[in-house]
Amino acid sequence: MRKIAFLCSLIFLCGQLLAQTRTINGKVLDEKGNPIPGASIQIKGSRGGTSTTADGTFSISVPATAKRLVISSINFTTQEVDISENMSVTLKAGSGSLDEVVVTAYGATKKKAFTGTASVVNSDQFKDLQVSSITNVLQGNASGVLVVNGNGQPGESPAIRIRGVGSVNASADPFIILDGSPYGGNLSSINPNDIESITVLKDASSTALYGSRAANGILQITTKIGKGTPKVAVSATRGYSKRAVDDYKYVNNEQLYGLTWEALRNQANITPGLATSIGAASSEDYASQSVAGVLVYNPFGVAQPIGLDGKLVSGAKSLWSEDWGKDLLRTGQRTDINGSVSGGSDKTRYFISGGYLDDQGLPIQSDFKRYSARFKVDTKVNDWLNVGINASGSYSTQNYPIQGGSAYSNVTGWVRSVSGIYPEFVRDPSTGALILDAAGNKQYDYGNNGPLHRPIFTPGNPAGTTAQNPTTYDRYLTSANAYGEAQIITGLKFRTQYAVDLYQNQYNSYYNPFVGDGAAYGGRSEKTRTNNATQTFTNTFTYDNTFADIHHFNVVVGMEAYRYHQGVVDAESRGFTFPGTTELAYGSTPYTANSYSYDNRMVSYFGRVNYDLGEKYHLSASIRRDGSSRFSDSARWGNFWSVGGAWNINKEAFMSGISTFNDLKLRASYGTTGNQAFLDNNGNVVYFPYLSTYSAGANIAGYAGSVIANPANGRLTWESQKTLDLGLDFALLKNRLSGSFTYFTRKSSKLLFNRPLPPSSGLDGVNDNIGTVTNKGIEIDLTSINVRTHDLEWTTSVNFSKVTNKITELPQTSITGANYSNLIVGQPLNNFYIREYAGVDKTDGAPMWWMDQTDATSGKTTRVVTKQWSAATRYYKGTSLPDWIAGVTNTVKYKGFDLNVLLYINFRGKIYDGNYAGLMYSAVGNTPGSNWSVDMLNRWQSPSNPGDGKTPRLTTTTDDQANSASTRFLFDDTYMRIRNITLGYTFPKSIFGSARINSARVYVDLQNPFTFYKYKGLDPEEGGLEGVTNGGSVVYKTFSAGLSVNF
């Protein structure tokens, strides 16, 4: 209550302050007299400000005492002018991009003084992007940042790696700082409309001040704050989604039956006695007699639909053909409504927002809804004290039907697995007519309604079960971040900041008692409640002063305490009677009850000195000392440091005659960072990785037991990383062309790793510091203003990143990694260590692989083919990590129109398409009735009809192992995707007349409209960072239209 009262009084205060103002109107023009839209108008000596509209005009309320305005705009020289009525200000083209501000650890700096490397993504770049999680905006917008949207489910965040993968058994996710404090919630709980900018900090001089948690880069997320005249902004967007790439092409009913017949025929030819065992006259007869029995469902209405020639008998035709893609996937709909009020005076700035989002996914029932509110205010209490608070609350609910893996209820996997001969609803096999229940309703076919079962995924049918089996994640986030800043003497400030994120994630899963996965248990319901409290208390002194006009110092000294607690309660009940009663109270049998908790605490001390000499030479040095509860008493403290320098060459006298360069800066930095986020095999953080433990819960009936879990390692300490960064920033031709080149090396050593022990030790491994991984690369950023006239402006921005990843040190020759990878010195992470497919033996249609054969006498190794998969040699066949990635953004503004096109390119990298492997199975006995790709029609059929040479013969046993992992299903992942096309129109203010509308904009947006990729059906991002597909969901293409109005 006291907090609410306090907030109310602050709002009241704002009103008071605003009352003592006068309004000034004006216009900002360039040297040719063209209006400059979006120019910033600041009241000198206060925080009040506004910006110009599309026609270059502005209107600002200024305190009676205010004297001057500061006018600035990107690519123009900042000007200071006296306040007058109906002002007209002309800005000179000049000082370039290096005047931008970069948000750094515990402060901000001008880009020209910045010695490190950062990419800034501003709200301008993502305001129209239809994303539900803020990090979705990074793909293609920031160099050095690999973003993979492995999942289409709304509310999920993409995988992000900054400058390659630097950790193996420890989290390689970037560290997320929200308004100066580590963020302790889920990314999807943040409303992207509240975000002003995301700064990606990449090199050591910008990250080392966060020391131990910064090894994999930092995302600094800054929320919006108001300035100038009160502004009310309202926007609404409506969108529609479908798959970004079309699904695989499947065989039809007739083809499915024909192929199955052929497999049976082939097997009868291979296995003697098989045909006679059922009294068949020939292999063909055996196949014709058996095929309907093997597939169980027969949509042709005749008992033996396939004749001895393997073709549909005359008169037989398909009575039904189910399109599961239509039954289980839909057009997603998206509604996003946001409103905000913001403004500021010379003393107080505020931003209040609310948002509602409803984002439906393509799988039936898939949905994400978010309700969010934020209140941010800061105020100058008196001449020495500033205080502020940023408080937000968010509730989101996500219905997340299973999309991936082998569960029967996997909606996306079902479409790719169950062929069209199996209907959604129960049908009469002789006529194909629907069989209705007593009430006249269609009945879902779970595959077990007759004496013979559907041979695949029985009993199951997600069309029937998905609505009855909700899987939801409800997320509650309450955040508050308050600070006070006192000026002690001129130049010296003390700031204290306390941030708390209270985050609860409620996982609920329910399986109904009637049909599907839950029937075996009489229905089951599981509830997991995870509560996180993240607190950070930060105190800093900042000293900023200039001596003798040219020696500028900025010194930061501080300490930080971090406290994290997570408590989990999990319970399950079984035996449910009624549909939809998901609460445990309705279950008859409490099944499990469990709780556990985790803690992490850290204490840190840090300091940084920035020095610049006449804005020509910049030096930066920082140090941080971190202690963490994750390591033993003797190993928990780590020191991390950095040095950096920058030289603004164009400020040198010798450059004064060269007008080509507006900016030219060389920069270099070197430093260390660390990582403590040890992960277990399931990707969960290990909180006490150094302790020797028995693990409880190994119970037999009612007898409690425990087993040895982990051997002790008191020496376990921080993963450490050394980063070298060399860069050149420039702006030329009156800032028409600007950009930067950066070269970096990242060497991660003492990797946090569960060092494998021989399994014969009875232990899986010991948590240890082992091995080294390096990432080396270059990043190029270029921005060109191609055309700039009175009405037309066309800008092109390109970012390019190339990273080479390599394992350079291991404690043993090789370590089996996740998926198909094998860790070995000289190879990259996420590699594919896999058998190499050698095609089909044209004489018998059997699949073959390559094998190294060493001659016993000569010792010479040659490559030969083998038909025994297990005997084939495994080779290193590339990595899922791309060679290089690039983003290209084109922006065209013409009068009131604006057009923005973002293109993303991923070059090389491999993807193993498990989906496709499943669609190309050759052993029919293994998965009869499973869907086939149309590529199966190019199989080997006989020596004279050998097919495409890649697709082997069909059989019913698994002896051939044709589908076992090999390069047959490993594909190049080079692709290009138009991430976004936005076309907007801003109405001229004149049309609103006396209506109190400041500006209005309508726009249409196409997200992921075009994907250029060689392999049809496969989404190049579905494999995620690991590059392996497994029946998952894919990226969506979204069409949306929106309106935003400012009052």
Partner 1 sequence: MRLTKYILMAGVGMLTLASCSKNFIDGVKPTDGSLSSTIIFSSKIGVDNALTGIYENIRDYIPSIGRQNMYGWKTAQFNFDMRGDDLISDPANWWLYENNWTDNAYGRIATSGRTLQIWALNYKVINNANAVIAGVPGISEAQSVKDALIGEAEALRAWAYFNLVRVYQFTYSKDTTAPGVPIYTEPSGSSTSGNPRAHVSAVYAQIVSDLEDAVSKLTSDRVDKYRINKAVAQGILAQVYLEMAPADNSLWAKAQSNAAAAAADFPLMDANGYKDGFNSVSNGEWMWGLQFNASQSYSYAGFFGYIEPTDITGAAGRYNDIYVNSSFVNLFSATDMRNLFDDATNQSSSSPWKKYVTLKFRDNATQSGDYVMMRSAEMYLIQAEALAQQGQQQPAIDMLYSLQSERDPNAVKPTTTDKQTLINLILVERRKELYAEGGVPYFDMKRYQLPLVRTGIQWSMLNIPADDNRWRWQIPQPEMDANKSLTSGDQNPL
Of 49, 96, 343, 455, the one binding partner 1 by CB under 8 A: 455
Compare residues 44 and 453 and give the one whose CB is closer to partner 1.
453
CB of 442 to partner 1, least distance (A): 20
Site for partner 1 in 19-48 (CB under 8 A): none
Best CA proximity match to 967, nearest among 1035, 882, 1032, 874: 874
**751-765 in b/e burial notation, b at 16+ Cβ within 10 A?**
bbbbbbeeeeeeeeb
Of 598, 617, 992, 1015, the one binding partner 1 by CB under 8 A: 598
Of 961, 986, 999, 1029, the one binding partner 1 by CB under 8 A: 961
The residue range among 149-157, 272-280, 852-860, 1020-1028 that interacts with partner 1, by the rule CB under 8 A, is 272-280
CB of 763 to partner 1, least distance (A): 5
CB of 759 to partner 1, least distance (A): 4
The residue range among 6-14, 92-100, 122-130, 511-519 that interacts with partner 1, by the rule CB under 8 A, is 511-519
Q: What single string gives the DSSP state of each residue in 482-499?
A: EEEEEEEETTEEEEEEEE
Tally the residues of the chain: 1047
- As beta bridge partners, residue 590 has 573
579 binds partner 1 (CB under 8 A): no
The residue range among 324-332, 697-705, 968-976, 988-996 that interacts with partner 1, by the rule CB under 8 A, is 697-705
Compare residues 35 and 293 and give the one whose CB is closer to partner 1.
293
* Phi (first) and psi of residue 918, to 5 degrees: -65, -30
Site for partner 1 in 485-504 (CB under 8 A): 486-489, 494, 496
Cα–Cα distances in angstroms (integers) from residue 103 to residues 118, 223, 665, in the given order: 9, 12, 19
Cα–Cα distances in angstroms (integers) from residue 606 to residues 246, 394, 640, 673, 1033, in the given order: 52, 33, 9, 13, 44
CB of 846 to partner 1, least distance (A): 15
Site for partner 1 in 515-534 (CB under 8 A): 515, 517, 519-521
Of 289, 338, 721, 922, the one binding partner 1 by CB under 8 A: 289
CA–CA distance, 133 with 125 (Å, rounded to integer)? 15
Of 38, 580, 614, 705, the one binding partner 1 by CB under 8 A: 705
DSSP state of 714: T
Of 35, 107, 293, 432, the one binding partner 1 by CB under 8 A: 293
CA–CA distance, 693 with 706 (Å, rounded to integer)? 10
Half-sphere exposure (Cβ direction) of 868: Cα atoms closer than 13 Å: 4
283 binds partner 1 (CB under 8 A): no
CA–CA distance, 450 with 296 (Å, rounded to integer)? 10
Site for partner 1 in 155-214 (CB under 8 A): none
CA–CA distance, 367 with 539 (Å, rounded to integer)? 41
Angle at 153 between CA 150 and CA 158, to 5 degrees: 40
The residue range among 435-443, 616-624, 732-740, 922-930 that interacts with partner 1, by the rule CB under 8 A, is 922-930
589 binds partner 1 (CB under 8 A): yes
Is there a contact between 854 and 880 (Cβ–Cβ < 8 Å)?
no
3-state DSSP call for residue 466?
Answer: coil
Best CA proximity match to 604, nearest among 556, 533, 538: 538
Site for partner 1 in 712-731 (CB under 8 A): 712-713
Compare residues 601 and 950 and give the one whose CB is closer to partner 1.
601
What's the token pair of residue 838? 């050698």
Element (H, E) at 464: helix 462-465
Of 315, 440, 451, 657, the one binding partner 1 by CB under 8 A: 451
Element (H, E) at 815: strand 814-816
The residue range among 304-312, 314-322, 812-820, 938-946 that interacts with partner 1, by the rule CB under 8 A, is 812-820
3-state DSSP call for residue 437?
Answer: coil
927 binds partner 1 (CB under 8 A): yes
Of 20, 88, 592, 862, the one binding partner 1 by CB under 8 A: 592
How many chain residues interact with partner 1 (CB under 8 A)?
111
Of 548, 653, 700, 856, the one binding partner 1 by CB under 8 A: 700
User: Strands, DSSP E only, in 229-347?
Assistant: 231-243, 332-344
Compare residues 12 and 384 and give the one whose CB is closer to partner 1.
384
Compare residues 331 and 577 and give the one whose CB is closer to partner 1.
577
CB of 865 to partner 1, least distance (A): 16
CB of 968 to partner 1, least distance (A): 15
Is there a contact between 157 and 136 (Cβ–Cβ < 8 Å)?
yes
What's the token pair of residue 257? 């039956």
Of 4, 701, 856, 991, the one binding partner 1 by CB under 8 A: 701
What's the token pair of residue 119? 């990419």
Angle at 49 between CA 44 and CA 50, to 5 degrees: 140
Site for partner 1 in 347-386 (CB under 8 A): 384
The residue range among 592-600, 991-999, 1020-1028, 1036-1044 that interacts with partner 1, by the rule CB under 8 A, is 592-600
407 binds partner 1 (CB under 8 A): no
CB of 575 to partner 1, least distance (A): 10
Is there a contact between 778 and 769 (Cβ–Cβ < 8 Å)?
no
Is there a contact between 959 and 868 (Cβ–Cβ < 8 Å)?
no
Compare residues 70 and 635 and give the one whose CB is closer to partner 1.
635
Compare residues 742 and 956 and give the one whose CB is closer to partner 1.
956
Site for partner 1 in 752-811 (CB under 8 A): 756-764, 766, 768
* Phi (first) and psi of residue 819, to 5 degrees: 50, -120
601 binds partner 1 (CB under 8 A): yes
Element (H, E) at 674: strand 661-675
Is there a contact between 788 and 30 (Cβ–Cβ < 8 Å)?
no
Of 541, 611, 875, 884, the one binding partner 1 by CB under 8 A: 541
The residue range among 240-248, 710-718, 889-897, 1011-1019 that interacts with partner 1, by the rule CB under 8 A, is 710-718
Site for partner 1 in 617-636 (CB under 8 A): 627-629, 633, 636
CB of 925 to partner 1, least distance (A): 4
* Phi (first) and psi of residue 840, to 5 degrees: -105, 140
Start-to-end CA distance of the chain, whole Å, equals: 31
Compare residues 25 and 706 and give the one whose CB is closer to partner 1.
706
Is there a contact between 104 and 206 (Cβ–Cβ < 8 Å)?
yes
CB of 856 to partner 1, least distance (A): 14
Is there a contact between 70 and 78 (Cβ–Cβ < 8 Å)?
yes
CA–CA distance, 968 with 971 (Å, rounded to integer)? 8
Of 695, 808, 843, 942, the one binding partner 1 by CB under 8 A: 695
3-state DSSP call for residue 938?
Answer: helix
Cβ-proximal residues to 657 (8 Å cutoff; 6+ apart), any chain? none
Site for partner 1 in 844-883 (CB under 8 A): 868-871
Site for partner 1 in 978-1037 (CB under 8 A): none
CB of 882 to partner 1, least distance (A): 27
User: What is the per-residue binding string for partner 1 in 667-686, x denoting contact by CB under 8 A?
Assistant: --------------x-----
308 binds partner 1 (CB under 8 A): no
CB of 281 to partner 1, least distance (A): 15
Compare residues 808 and 926 and give the one whose CB is closer to partner 1.
926
Is there a contact between 351 and 376 (Cβ–Cβ < 8 Å)?
yes
What's the token pair of residue 523? 């229905």
What's the token pair of residue 513? 């008692």
Site for partner 1 in 632-661 (CB under 8 A): 633, 636
Of 230, 839, 896, 925, the one binding partner 1 by CB under 8 A: 925
